[in-house]
A = this chain, B = another copy of it.
Amino acid sequence: MDKDIDFYFDFASPYSYFAAPRLEKIAAAHGRRVRWLPVLVTAMCEATGSPLAPLVQLKWQYVQRDLARSAHAEGLSFRVPPGFPSLLLAPARAMLWIRRAHDDKTATAFARTCLRAYFGDGVDINDAQVLTGIGAALGVDRQALLAGMADSAIKAEFRDATSHAPAKGAFGVPFVIADGEPFWGADRLGQLDTWLGRIRELA
């Protein structure tokens, strides 16, 4: 079995939402698995000195058009969520706890559902009750999840994941690293597909 493909994403990133379904299709087509790695992209951008596009007024006007067109191109429903852009730490912590307490499959399903609920339906995924509801549908105990999200070890795990990502080559989201080869942005998935194909030919 080949190594997993690392997928750095932020629950607050619409381009992460756009990238995820196609990334999973591409990975599956090449017999590879995707490992979902939540990070806090605002903290990464502060570390590398690059302001996020939605936070620059001139770019935000552009980005709104680009978001609508990109969602349409991926065949995904999309709306700019109320209060966007927000710092979404709670769903990331919840996901990391679910990965520890349950398994990777449940944690990934939780992340997928959160992205769809937030960007597809405008649901507030920073609300603990919403998160425990999504978890409950996947068999996760509500009280245990609430306690897990508040656990200082989980908070530290998320903080460390964000601060260590640049050393692994990831400085934004969505960011994909496959066998050390980096791909930044939903618009690079075509190149990832080409690259995975070449790797298979060489294998």
Annotate A32-45 by CB proximity to B: 1 below 8 A, 0 otherwise: 00000000000000
Chain B residue numbers with a CB within 8 Å of A171 are: 56, 58-59, 62
* Stretch with Cβ within 8 A of B (4 or more), from A66-74, A112-120, A130-138: A66-74
For residues 158 through 189 of chain A, which have their beta carbon under 8 Å from a beta carbon of chain B? Answer: 166, 169, 171, 181-182, 184-185, 187-188
Main secondary structure of the interface of A (DSSP, over half): helix
Chain B residue numbers with a CB within 8 Å of A166 are: 58
Whether the pair B62, A58 counts as a contact (CB closer than 8 A) is no
Whether the pair B58, A181 counts as a contact (CB closer than 8 A) is no
Tally chain A residues at the interface, Cβ within 8 Å.
Answer: 27
For residues 43 through 62 of chain A, which have their beta carbon under 8 Å from a beta carbon of chain B? Answer: 48-51, 56, 58-59, 61-62
CB of A194 within 8 Å of the partner chain = yes
Whether the pair B184, A62 counts as a contact (CB closer than 8 A) is yes
- When all copies of this chain in the complex are counted, the total is 2
* Residue on B nearest A191 in the bound complex, by CB: B69
Q: Kindly provide the distance from the CB of A83 to the nearest chain B CB, expressed in whole angstroms.
A: 24
* Residue on B nearest A62 in the bound complex, by CB: B182
Chain B residue numbers with a CB within 8 Å of A56 are: 48-50, 171
Chain B residue numbers with a CB within 8 Å of A185 are: 187
Q: Kindly provide the distance from the CB of A63 to the nearest chain B CB, expressed in whole angstroms.
A: 9
Binding site for B on A (CB under 8 A): 48-51, 56, 58-59, 61-62, 65-66, 69-70, 73, 166, 169, 171, 181-182, 184-185, 187-188, 190-191, 194-195
